[in-house]
Amino acid sequence: MTIWTDAGIVLPIDTSRLSNWEHLFPTLSTQKGVAYDGETFFAPTDWGNSSIVYRTDLVDAEESWAMLFDERYAGKISPPDTVSNIQAAAAVLGVDPTNIPDDVLNGPVADMVRAQRGLARNYWTTASELDQMIASGEVVIAFAWNETYKRLKAQGVPVAYARPKEGIWGWCCGVVRVKGGEGDEQMAHDFIDAWLSPEAGKNLIEMYGYGHSNKKSFEIADPAVVENLGLTDPETLMASSVFFGPQDAAYDEKINRLWEDIRAGS
């Protein structure tokens, strides 16, 4: 968000116009990046986790980010085509994955990710591709979001969604007001408020397996679905998750460049 606000391409959101704002989880409505210089620029809507989906009938391993680097499952691991591999390696090494020192990044972390390249079945890019590989048993361990776990469970595939001992990761998406738009300002706020409504959250939870920022969504969502997704205590789950806040642009560029180099084979 700081990149967008510094660039002047987003406009403040008047939360007094949002009837649902008061019902948002404080963990989300007060997270870094929501407000800037005393004004709100980001309305959190959906949230979820980044973790590891694995086949419970084919994998016997401690729930850890180390699963993505486990030589016993060479050829059956599918990491994402993102810098998340670098962050996972840092977590395994006991380093804060949101702030990796240069000597660790270019040393043991880089070494782990290069070694992972030889263990990976592929680096997945689409969720549908990932679902098919896990369902068939072609892949037994993979980095994934909540929706993959939900879909595979619904198909009867024996899978679990790991709570890595180093900490499960959390993320939050949302909406902003873009500068230069020609739409009505009140309608823009009405649209944001609709996204924040319990009804929108109910559909998000039940259809996609993600959490919603409005606490009341969990009161009206199907209890069986909520329980099956492991979302019966969303506040505790968020409190125990590692959320990746806005990063310094130079840091982002550094880890992205390293990932691209490793991905290319260097």
pLDDT value for 207: 93
pLDDT value for 169: 95
Closest CA to 211 of 244, 174, 179, 181: 174
Q: What is the pTM of this model?
A: 0.88
Angle (CA) 185 191 192, round 5°: 95
pLDDT value for 180: 84
pLDDT digits (tens, 9 = 90+) for 168-201: 999 999 999 999 877 899 999 999 999 999 999 9
Residue 138 neighbours by CB distance under 10 Å: 13
Mean pLDDT, residues 7-24 taken together: 95
Q: Is the pLDDT of residue 135 over 60?
A: yes
pLDDT value for 213: 98
Run of H or E including 189: helix 185-195
Residue 132 neighbours by CB distance under 10 Å: 12
Distance between CA atoms of 33 and 2, rounded to whole angstroms? Answer: 7
Please enumerate, as own/partner, the contacts of 243-247 that have beta carbons within 8 Å and a separation of 24 or more: 243/31, 243/169, 243/170, 243/171, 243/172, 244/87, 244/97, 244/98, 244/169, 244/170, 244/171, 245/31, 245/32, 245/33, 245/98, 246/1, 246/2, 246/3, 246/32, 246/33, 247/98
Q: Taking a C-beta distance cutoff of 8 angstroms, is the pair 120, 78 a contact?
A: yes
Angle (CA) 161 230 233, round 5°: 140
CATH superfamily of 2-47+171-243: Periplasmic binding protein-like II (3.40.190.10)
Query: Lowest mean pLDDT: which of 15-24, 85-94, 230-239?
Result: 230-239
Q: Is the pLDDT of residue 212 over 60?
A: yes
Q: Is the pLDDT of residue 4 over 90?
A: no
Share of the chain above pLDDT 90, in %: 86
Q: Taking a C-beta distance cutoff of 8 angstroms, is the pair 13, 189 a contact?
A: yes
> Hey, do 2-47+171-243 and 49-169+253-263 end up sharing a CATH topology, with the first three levels equal?
yes
Mean pLDDT, residues 140-168 taken together: 95
Q: Amino acid identity of 97?
A: P
Share of the chain above pLDDT 70, in %: 99
**85, two tokens:** 């591999």
pLDDT digits (tens, 9 = 90+) for 50-99: 999 999 999 999 999 999 999 999 999 999 999 999 999 999 999 999 89
pLDDT value for 37: 87
Q: Is the pLDDT of residue 1 over 70?
A: no
- Average pLDDT, rounded, for the chain: 94
C-alpha 173, offset from chain centre: 9
Task: List the chain domain ranges.
Answer: 2-47+171-243, 49-169+253-263
Name the band, by pLDDT with cuts 50, 70 and 90, for residue 249.
confident
Distance between CA atoms of 259 and 266, rounded to whole angstroms? Answer: 10
**189, two tokens:** 């706020």
Which class is 49-169+253-263 in CATH?
A: alpha beta
Distance between CA atoms of 143 and 173, rounded to whole angstroms? Answer: 19
Distance between CA atoms of 238 and 215, rounded to whole angstroms? Answer: 12
Distance between CA atoms of 96 and 66, rounded to whole angstroms? Answer: 15
What residue has token string 């500068």? Answer: 179
Q: Taking a C-beta distance cutoff of 8 angstroms, is the pair 37, 1 a contact?
A: no
Name the band, by pLDDT with cuts 50, 70 and 90, for residue 8.
confident
